[in-house]
């Protein structure tokens, strides 16, 4: 259900003052035009510029690369979270959290990679062959094999001590 402001009807502002909605303004304008025996005209819009005619071309570089597979295969995508508990478990620091500072992002990615590699090695019975895993350094893991094959599909926690 929409509020009066969402519906465009008159309502009350946060300060308690009466407000006029878009529908009320439109109805008032149409009434004034009708009183003058006029009809609303169709909206006049500027034409869209054709694609590629505004701005300047520039080169970009991405870290996305295509794969050409010899034969079709299935990949599994997993969302992962890497975090550390500090101060005796009273505070949690998320390494997979996105940051705005380039240094912080690079440092977090490096730490995520270190932790991920250590956990894969320590829990090889779960992860299998490391060469079948692709980790983005943040929060996405792709696997060539179903990591939960023969297991219940529930959230899995791995505990590991690693000092940076």
Q: What does the pLDDT look like over 4-51, one tens digit per residue?
A: 444 444 555 555 666 778 888 888 988 998 999 888 888 888 888 888
Give domain status of residue 95, yes or no. yes
Give domain status of residue 154, yes or no. yes
In angstroms, rounded to a whole number, what is the distance separating the alpha carbons of residues 113 and 136? 9
In angstroms, rounded to a whole number, what is the distance separating the alpha carbons of residues 108 and 140? 14
Give the pLDDT confidence score for residue 16 in this predicted structure: 61
Give domain status of residue 132, yes or no. yes
Give domain status of residue 101, yes or no. yes
State mean pLDDT over 52-69. 80
pLDDT at 157 over 60: yes
Residue found under tokens 């599909």: 153
Distance of CA 162 to the CA centre of its chain: 29
Give the pLDDT confidence score for residue 159 in this predicted structure: 79
Give the pLDDT confidence score for residue 112 in this predicted structure: 81
For residue 139, the tally of other CB atoms under 10 A from its CB is 17
Compare 14 and 156 and report the one with higher pLDDT: 156
Give the pLDDT confidence score for residue 6 in this predicted structure: 43
Give domain status of residue 52, yes or no. no
Could you report the per-residue pLDDT of 90-129, keeping only the tens digit for each? 787 777 666 555 556 667 778 788 888 888 999 898 898 8
Cα dist. 49→20, 56, 58, 92 in Å? 35, 14, 19, 50
Number of domain units in the chain:
1
In angstroms, rounded to a whole number, what is the distance separating the alpha carbons of residues 80 and 160? 15
Give domain status of residue 9, yes or no. no
For residue 82, the tally of other CB atoms under 10 A from its CB is 23
Domain that holds residue 122: 66-164
Could you report the per-residue pLDDT of 47-57, keeping only the tens digit for each? 888 887 777 87
Q: What confidence tier does 1 reach under pLDDT thresholds 50, 70, 90? A: very low
Give the pLDDT confidence score for residue 91 in this predicted structure: 80
The pair of structure tokens assigned to 73 is 């295969």
Give domain status of residue 94, yes or no. yes
State mean pLDDT over 52-73. 81
């Amino acid at each position: 259900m929409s509020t009066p402001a969402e519906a465009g009807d008159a309502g009350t502002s946060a300060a308690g003052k009466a407000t006029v909605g878009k529908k009320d303004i439109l109805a008032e304008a149409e009434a004034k035009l009708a009183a003058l025996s006029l009809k609303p005209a169709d909206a006049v819009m500027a034409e869209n510029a054709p694609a590629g005619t505004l701005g300047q071309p520039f080169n970009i570089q991405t870290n996305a690369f295509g794969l050409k597979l010899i034969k079709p295969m299935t990949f599994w995508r997993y969302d992962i979270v890497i975090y550390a508990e500090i101060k005796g478990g009273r505070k949690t620091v998320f390494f997979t959290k996105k940051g705005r500072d380039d240094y912080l992002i690079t440092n977090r990615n490096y730490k995520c990679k270190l932790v991920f590699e250590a956990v894969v090695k320590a829990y090889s019975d779960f992860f299998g062959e490391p060469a079948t895993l692709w980790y983005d350094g943040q929060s996405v893991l792709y696997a060539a094999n179903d990591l939960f094959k023969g297991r219940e599909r529930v959230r899995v926690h791995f505990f590991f001590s690693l000092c940076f």
